[in-house]
A and B are shown apart, each in its own frame.
Chain A
Amino acid sequence: MVKLSVSDLAIDYGGKTVLSGVDLEIQENEIFGIIGPANSGKTSFLRAINRMDEFTDGMNVRGSVKLDGTEVKDWANVYALRRRIGVVFPLPVGLPMSVYDNVALSPRLNGIRNKAELDERVERCLTRAALWDEVKDRLDTLGSLLSGGQQQRLTIARALSQEPDLLLLDEFSIAVDPVTTMRIEDVLVDLKKDMTIVLVTNLVQQARRLADRTAFFLMGECVEIAGTEELFTGTVKDQRTRDYVEGRFG
């Protein structure tokens, strides 16, 4: 089943085009990787999916982005849309409130007040994000004062607390140590069965490890999409893809 369908997507910032002519479909319960050098439009692509372009002055999105068959622009309540989509940014963000409150924020915004329910969800999400053991005895620590790797897992826990059906990750491992990166990668593989995941990464090998299919973005264009094994074992259609994957530029 197609989860996300993008057709003829074009994005520009005050006239300066960063993405054009993007057509792709992301299937439910797959990990869809997006690789490509800097400034290829990968991050802008993610922002268009949950309409975060509305918070950026001058960002224009044209074309079609459909979630479960409905155009995201047609959602009257954009906040309800965003609640269905979890996002992890490159820089870890621990909100300046207790770890508990960090993870309880989304359920509370959705009206859940029952303490038992909140407790259960907080524990479940922190466990799934591989952070529970480290914080279970100090849930009242400020999220903003945790280490970088912990904050990134806290961000994932927050995303999971939304009970999203779509999870967007934008170069999540940039500011995180290799051990934590590995732990998070294991988490993602486990999450696949419950949601659809879009993984933007600058680590070609990471896409190889995790993604079912991968798209290669280069300078605003979606050059190629292929099953991951094909992408990496050389049966690609475009020479530029092969050059990037083999490290000839980056």
Chain B
Amino acid sequence: MAKAANPAARDLSWFVDKLAQGLIFLGGISGILLIIGIFVFVSREGIGFVTNGLEWGEFFTSPAWRPTSKNPTFGALALIAGTASVTGLAMIVSVPLSLGAAVFIGEFAKGRTRELLKVLIEMLAAIPSVVWGFIGLSIMNEFIIDAFNVPVGLNVLNAGIILGLMAAPIMTTIAEDALKAVPDGYRQAAEAMGATRWQVIWRVVIPAAKNGLVAAVLLGVGRGFGETMAVLMASGHSINMPTSPFDSVRALTATIAAELGETAVGSEHYQALFFLGIFLFLITFLINLTADVVVRGIKKG
């Protein structure tokens, strides 16, 4: 019943397969193309600042960001301090909460409770940035003014807590994965020696999951660094070096969002803002790269 097939014949399905392969490959490299593209196009608009007006010393050491004054200065120190202080506070809030929640959900909670908690955390993650910003503006603002008896509630504390809550879900999820990846064998060996649940977790599981937990924190930091709207709306508007959590600050991201609309395309101010973008891109790229290397450490064993 053999068909007299010509062994040399390439039919339609052969060509369709090759075409599909080509298109799929293009899709495959889209990620690389886009990351490169982002760097290229943001740099394209901001490179003028580097070649013309940028004084590296001033940029990194001066808190005087005055792009619209008669003699514009572009000292980014206050902005960097703003980002750092808000992100730092966010981590202080978020790391213990996330790790604690990850341990609780992963090791102690069972069945329905666990499902419910995971759903609630997913919902926390779903809240859009601008809504968080609004919460900072309204609810958190009033709360801080009342609770701490300060005149202004838009400050490092406000943005820090909000950012902490925003970064928590992803940190919790990754930490949970890291804890889950610890082989049951470790737990069973410890339990066989008579350790309680908590002792097993504290002395065996957490140390074993160290890499993943560090990665979780790194990703949380990355998220904090890159957050725009929430920080813009909750941290206040003053560009200054913060001396207490009740000071208003301005972050790098928020600066771009707040000022870009008022610049002329191609002006020095415009280019400076794009330069801030390149700066942000590189920092978050580094953080993500580090986190990835650390995570790869887990997968290898």
Contact = CB atoms under 8 A, between A and B. Distances in A.
Nearest to B2: A165
B300 interface: no
A160 to B, nearest CB: 10
Interface of A: 68, 70, 74-77, 79-81, 83-84, 109, 163, 165, 194-195
Nearest to A195: B1
A80 B14 CA distance: 9
Contact of B14 (A77, A163, A165): A77
B10 A77 contact: yes
Interface in B35-69: none
A163 B9 contact: no
B3 A76 contact: no
Interface in B240-278: none
Interface of B: 1-3, 5, 7-11, 13-14, 17
B1 A165 contact: yes
A125 B238 CA distance: 79
Contacts of A76: 7-10
Nearest to B11: A77
B10 A194 contact: no
A77 B7 contact: yes
B5 A80 contact: yes
B1 A194 contact: yes
Nearest to A77: B10
Contact of B7 (A70, A163, A194, A195): A70
A237 to B, nearest CB: 34
A109 B14 CA distance: 12
A84 B2 contact: yes
A77 B3 CA distance: 14
A74 B7 CA distance: 8
Contacts of B5: 80, 83-84
A81 B7 contact: yes
Nearest to B10: A77
Residue of A80, A81, A83, A195 most packed against chain B (CB within 10 A): A80
Contact of B3 (A75, A163, A195): A163
A79 B14 contact: yes
Nearest to A75: B7
Contacts of B10: 76-77
B11 to A, nearest CB: 6
Contacts of B9: 76-77, 80
A163 B5 CA distance: 13
Contacts of A79: 13-14, 17
Given A76-B10, A165-B1, 19 more contacts: A68-B2, A70-B7, A75-B8, A76-B7, A76-B8, A77-B9, A77-B10, A77-B14, A79-B13, A79-B14, A80-B7, A80-B9, A84-B2, A84-B3, A84-B5, A109-B13, A163-B1, A163-B3, A165-B2
